[in-house]
Amino acid sequence: MRSHFCYNTVQMQRTLDPSLACPSCGAQARVFKNSQSTCAYCGATLPPLPFTHPGGTFAHTSPIRIGMKAKLGGREYVAVGRLLFRDSEGYAWEEWVLLSQDGDAQYLEFDEGKWSLTRYWPEGSQSVRVGDYTEGQPVTLGGKTYIVTSVGMMRVAGVEGEIPWRVSVGESSPYADFGSGDTIFSVEQASDGIEWFRGRRLDAAEVYTLFDLKEEVREEMQKEVVQTDRRRFGCLWLNLSLLAFFLCAIASSTNGKQVFSAQLTADQVADEGSLVGPFPLKHIEFPHRLSLASGGLSQTSVWVQGVLEDAGGAVFEAEQEFWDETGYDDGPWHEWVTDANTDFRLAKAGDFRVRVYADPEAAATSVPIMVRVYEDVRHATPLAWFGGIGLVLGTCFWLSGAPGARKSFAEAMQDS
């Protein structure tokens, strides 16, 4: 909500000259349509107020029009005028002035898709300085704590209708808005003092119900059903995304089921390679993993190759140079590669061996070489892709079903 440029009830009652009331029914509310001023309640033709604004200078942003009636708290109010405001940052919003038959005023604001309804609040402090408030500041109003949601300078950019006080385009005043839940307050530094307003937020369907706009209510209800479905679908994707990332973390931390393990030293490896095994590999639907590792490599290295063989010969091979070095340049450092994992798929199940080759440096002839084989290896990459796509889809659907959140997200992106 951004504030409105209105005058308090005392000033308005002073402005509503009794002699300008409808002579037929005594109503204070009148509407100006088709170049004619008429009583909003009995339809009698009346002379226009001295400060009538014919309108037509700024576009409508909602279905509400001059002369429409709304039921508020069991009383009937008429939309007698409309004001357009802009703040110092260029944001625009409009406000409808609603008058009852006896001149009681309420203010219906439409601000970037959000509705609020306020009225003059006589209990507000007259000693505050509007410019001293800052956004995010907690303030106690009516015995409860509210947060300052916006502070700025607003300017009247357009006026339409028979608003029962003088308003001129270009008038401006500082304002501050406060909110907690659906309850809202605003304060303005008007020309003759401080003015406070209190009210609540409304959704579009509630506003259209007040004005008995049945078709608009039906459209809003249908829109809400669509938005609810989008939010639910978005939440489903977000939950699936979280599950995928959880499973991805598990898959990244496990190698699968170990089916074979062997260890030998580098000097035990023959020039033509040394065979270790045999071991059966039965499952072909999931990847397998050949793991090679070494240790004890202080300032030295060893090259190791593992070739997976079956009765017909080589099926798969992997190689890696292992090393472990320390030193001191601008500071101490320690770098190493002591294990390597390579995944593969089998065309058929069977018994297999691993032929190990090694080429150690002189100081690494006795280092151990470990060979391990795993089956049913779960890859984390597909889960990570699914989780990422689910996160994007879930966020998009959730934001499309939550207009307020979408607007806040867009504003936050702009601020950053």
Give me the pLDDT at residue 11, please: 39
Partners of 413 in beta bridges:
none
Give the tokens for residue 192. Answer: 């003759």
∠ CA 171-177-181, rounded to 5°: 150
Give me the pLDDT at residue 278, please: 95
Q: Strand 332-337: give its sheet, edge to edge.
A: 274-281, 350-360, 300-310, 313-328, 332-337
CATH number for domain 257-377, candidates 3.40.50.300, 2.60.120.380, 3.40.640.10, 2.40.30.10: 2.60.120.380
Three-class SS of residue 214?
helix
- Domain boundaries defined on the chain: 9-212, 257-377
Partners of 344 in beta bridges:
288
Contacts of 43 (CB under 8 A, 6+ apart): none
In one letter, which amino acid is 316?
F
The pTM of this model reads: 0.63
Measured in degrees and rounded to the nearest 5, phi and psi for residue 390 equal -65, -35
Q: What is the DSSP-derived secondary structure letter of residue 268?
A: G
Give me the pLDDT at residue 9, please: 39
Partners of 126 in beta bridges:
none
Q: Tell how many helices (H) and how many strands (E) occur in the chain.
A: 5, 22
String of DSSP letters for 95-154? EEEEEETT--EEEEEEETTEEEEEEE-TTS-SS--GGG--TT-EEEETTEEEEEEEEEEE
CA distance 169 to 218: 36
Which runs of E-coded beta strand occur in 162-287? 172-180, 183-190, 193-202, 257-265, 274-281
Three-class SS of residue 280?
strand
Q: For residue 323, how many C-alpha atoms fall within 13 Å in the half-sphere facing its CB?
A: 12
Q: Minimal CA–CA distance to 125: which of 171, 189, 180?
A: 189
Give me the pLDDT at residue 170, please: 87
Give me the pLDDT at residue 45, please: 87
CA distance 166 to 158: 13
In one letter, which amino acid is 190?
A
Give the tokens for residue 42. Answer: 């009995």
Contacts of 360 (CB under 8 A, 6+ apart): 266, 267, 300, 301, 302, 303, 367
Q: In residues, how long is the chain?
A: 416
String of DSSP letters for 304-363? EEEEEEETTEEEEEEEEEEEEEEEESSSEEEEEE-EEEEEE--SS-EEEEEEEEEEE-GG
CA distance 319 to 336: 16
pLDDT by position in tens, the chain (length 416): 554 444 433 334 334 667 778 888 888 888 887 778 888 888 888 887 777 676 667 888 899 998 999 999 899 999 998 999 998 888 899 999 999 888 889 999 998 889 999 999 999 888 888 989 999 999 999 899 999 999 999 999 988 888 877 788 888 899 999 999 999 999 998 777 899 999 999 999 999 999 999 999 999 999 889 999 999 999 999 999 999 999 888 877 777 889 999 999 999 999 999 999 999 998 888 889 999 999 888 889 999 999 999 999 999 999 999 999 999 888 899 999 999 989 998 989 999 999 999 999 988 889 999 999 999 888 788 889 999 999 999 999 988 887 665 455 445 444 54
Q: What is the DSSP-derived secondary structure letter of residue 20?
A: G
CA distance 188 to 224: 34
Provide the 10 A C-beta neighbour count for residue 246: 12
Give me the pLDDT at residue 35, please: 79
Q: Minimal CA–CA distance to 212: which of 72, 366, 32?
A: 72
Give me the pLDDT at residue 413, please: 46
∠ CA 214-56-202, rounded to 5°: 35
Three-class SS of residue 165?
coil
CA distance 319 to 305: 4
